[in-house]
Structure 1
Amino acid sequence: MSSSNDSSLHDFEFILMGLPGLQNVQHWLCFPFVIVFLVGLFANLVISSIIVTEQCLHEPMYYFIAVLSVIDLTACLSLMPIVLLILSFGSQSVPSDVCFLQMFCASFIGVMQSSVLVLMAYDRYIAVCKPLRYSTIVTNTFIVKSLLMFTVRNICAVIPIPVLAKLLPYCGKKSVYNIHCDYLAVINMSCARTAMSENFLFIIFSLIGLPDAGLIGLSYYRIVRVTLKLKSKEALEKAFSTCSSHISVLALVYLSGLLASILSLFENNMPPYMHPLLSVIYLIIPPTLNPVIYGVKSQKIWGAILKHFTTIMSILKGNKQTVHL
């Protein structure tokens, strides 16, 4: 049996080589990435735990924020450890199944973020445009059913990504010039690629990315139309404040994705390390900044954080005085 067939039928390993052209200096990038990882980890844990424990935050809008924080937390935990390992110690061997699992996680997290943003946009649309019917439309049952529906849709959509990659034949040295198991970087190592494997990400973007962006855009278009008709300055400010954090997160997610896509068109004219670096930045920056945005812009969440912080400081101060006595 040929080595090509062996690779497609048996377990093997990929070697993640790190950032091409920067292997000798990439360890310096470990420090900012560690900071990003710790901020993302801590901020998402704080936001999700605050929403779970605070009764005043048990509302649909905050439930969606909590779900997004859990997704962002999963993004940090599934991607950052291997990234930090490679930046710190150089190339690492990764079992193929682990690589394909990380590939699935990265893809699933991306489409789940998009799905939650759609639900958040719909939630704000109902809150602003149909406030009297909000409590009867956006119920706990609606939240659970919609999240389950999107989860099933997204699993069905991204399962083919690792399957297509696994079915490809891999021969020779399986060196992936990246710091994580990026789908395109991995399939570029195969001996032969199919039209489906090369174009599947575009299919996902067409079937999920564009419709989700369209629904979000339609929701906020209607919100803007209704908001502009409000004659009361107080009502206008309230409508803006209730949507500002969501708009900030939407801008962060979609603009970072758009920037990565535009720069990928000029990949041949850029240094070889740019694509893997941008792909990681796109995957980790939104999960890190999302909870920070919600923590700062949402007055209820910020108030709950300050309350817990004050309580903790009071306890620590009391313990310190007890020790002195």
Structure 2
Amino acid sequence: MSDSNTTAFKNPTTFILLGIPGLEAAHIWISIPFCTMYTIAILGNFTILFIVKTEPSLHRPMYYFLCMLAVTDLVLSSSILPKMLSIFWFNSREINFSACLTQMYFIQCFSGMESGIFVAMALDRYVAICNPLRHSTILTNHFVAKIGLTVLLRSCLLILPIPILARQWPYCRTNIIPQPYCAHIAMVNLACADTRISSYYGLFVLFCVMALDVIFITMSYTQILRAIFSLPTKDAQLKTIGTCSSHLFVILSFYIPGLFFFLRYQFNQNVPGHFHVLIASVYHLIPPMLNPVIYGVRTKGIRGRLLRLFTHEGA
């Protein structure tokens, strides 16, 4: 009997997602802010794509990178929210094994792509401020396309071994995942095999993607700030800072919550499990929601096009 129980999860056909363990009674209420964030993310990012496509004056590298970010945010949020809301609303907790691995891959892949796009946007700001006369000759459409392809391939190829390794593990403990989505760390905890290679590779990916990206962005903005403070007048300094402010807000909204979550998970094990799950879920949804809002409010080209659109419709 014990043998049959042990082998039942060797190759599970489905996993069970618990949602937010300990807060099951509040799932309906929790779904309200999550659904609101998802709606804002969908509408906001589609609006960014529509405005850039229909406004020829925005056909420039900064806005191309912004479109890449919008597409990434749409895929990232749509990889998580529909299944999460089905758990909260309909108690639909089962997920196919292959679908679980696919979801895990998309979450990690597009999170890495988002980080890479921030590096590309930092490069654009660096060239625009530190070498403005050569901006159009350096960041050509062909070069921007190469950057986008590099960001895509880097993330896709680096993340690919993670679900491949996860598929090979035996799952002889349980097929219950105490989260509302298929997270890598959750699947590592379910495997009854030596998963050190996967853990080490996960740290390697974290360093190759997030750590190196943060270092590059920091270096870029160090040079940008030096160039800004060397400008002759305060007005010129403030105007130049304004062109970078929206990008800085977006970077902070992406990396600071991620750092907070990572530190809480690593060094504060007394925090209740449902708090970790809730914070991790919110972390994946805040950037897709905030990015179009921040760019819509603080980017002059997009804000002006929105105002003209609504003014024209109102007239």
1:69-124: per-residue Cα shift (whole Å, max 9, x none)? 11111112111101111122335100010000000000011110011000000100
Does structure 2 conserve the Cα–Cα contact (< 8 Å) formed by 1:245 and 1:298? yes
1:183-218: per-residue Cα shift (whole Å, max 9, x none)? 111221112232112232211111221111111000
1:299 and 1:268, CA in 2 relative to 1: closer, same or farther beyond 3 A? same
Would you say how many aligned residue pairs link Structure 1 and Structure 2? Answer: 313
**After the TM superposition, which of the residue ranges 192-201 and 62-71 deviates more from structure 2?**
192-201
Secondary structure, aligned partner of 1:94: strand
Shift of 1:267: 4.7
Does structure 2 conserve the Cα–Cα contact (< 8 Å) formed by 1:4 and 1:191? no
1:250-281: per-residue Cα shift (whole Å, max 9, x none)? 11111111111111124520111122111111
**After the TM superposition, which of the residue ranges 281-290 and 235-244 deviates more from structure 2?**
235-244
Does structure 1 conserve the Cα–Cα contact (< 8 Å) formed by 2:12 and 2:171? no
Does structure 1 conserve the Cα–Cα contact (< 8 Å) formed by 2:110 and 2:155? no
1:210-236: per-residue Cα shift (whole Å, max 9, x none)? 111111000000000111110123321
Tell me what 1:89 maps to. 90
Tell me what 1:250 maps to. 251
1:179-218 alignment runs, 5 A limit: 179-218=180-219
1:12 and 1:267, CA in 2 relative to 1: closer, same or farther beyond 3 A? farther
Give the aligned residue type for 2:149: L
Give the aligned residue type for 2:306: I
1:114-153 alignment runs, 5 A limit: 114-153=115-154
1:156-191: per-residue Cα shift (whole Å, max 9, x none)? 100011111111101253000000111111221112
Does structure 1 conserve the Cα–Cα contact (< 8 Å) formed by 2:9 and 2:174? no
TM-score by length of 2: 0.95
Does structure 2 conserve the Cα–Cα contact (< 8 Å) formed by 1:187 and 1:193? no
Secondary structure, aligned partner of 1:119: helix
**Which runs of 5 or more structure 2 residues have no equivalent in the other structure?**
none
Give the aligned residue type for 2:30: L
**After the TM superposition, which of the residue ranges 107-116 and 187-196 deviates more from structure 2?**
187-196
TM-score by length of 1: 0.92
Q: CA RMSD in A?
A: 1.6
Secondary structure, aligned partner of 2:15: strand
Q: Does 1:106 align with 2:107?
A: yes
Tell me what 2:52 maps to. 51
Give the aligned residue type for 1:232: T
Tell me what 1:321 maps to. none
1:4 and 1:53, CA in 2 relative to 1: closer, same or farther beyond 3 A? farther
1:293-312 alignment runs, 5 A limit: 293-312=294-313
Q: Following the alignment from structure 1 to structure 2, what is the Cα–Cα distance between the partners of residues 5 and 60?
A: 54
Shift of 1:44: 0.6
Secondary structure, aligned partner of 1:188: helix
Q: Following the alignment from structure 1 to structure 2, what is the Cα–Cα distance between the partners of residues 182 and 28?
A: 23
Q: Following the alignment from structure 1 to structure 2, what is the Cα–Cα distance between the partners of residues 103 and 159?
A: 10
Does structure 2 conserve the Cα–Cα contact (< 8 Å) formed by 1:17 and 1:91? no
Give the aligned residue type for 1:284: L
Does structure 2 conserve the Cα–Cα contact (< 8 Å) formed by 1:165 and 1:187? yes
Secondary structure, aligned partner of 1:273: helix
Secondary structure, aligned partner of 1:77: helix
Q: Following the alignment from structure 2 to structure 1, what is the Cα–Cα distance between the partners of residues 249 and 272?
A: 31
Q: Following the alignment from structure 1 to structure 2, what is the Cα–Cα distance between the partners of residues 266 and 153?
A: 30
Does structure 1 conserve the Cα–Cα contact (< 8 Å) formed by 2:15 and 2:94? yes
Tell me what 1:313 maps to. 314
Q: Following the alignment from structure 2 to structure 1, what is the Cα–Cα distance between the partners of residues 16 and 170?
A: 16
Structure 1 runs (4+) greater than 3 angstroms displaced: 1-8
Does structure 2 conserve the Cα–Cα contact (< 8 Å) formed by 1:51 and 1:58? yes
Q: Does 1:26 align with 2:27?
A: yes
Does structure 2 conserve the Cα–Cα contact (< 8 Å) formed by 1:13 and 1:93? yes
Calculate percent identity across the aligned residue pairs: 36
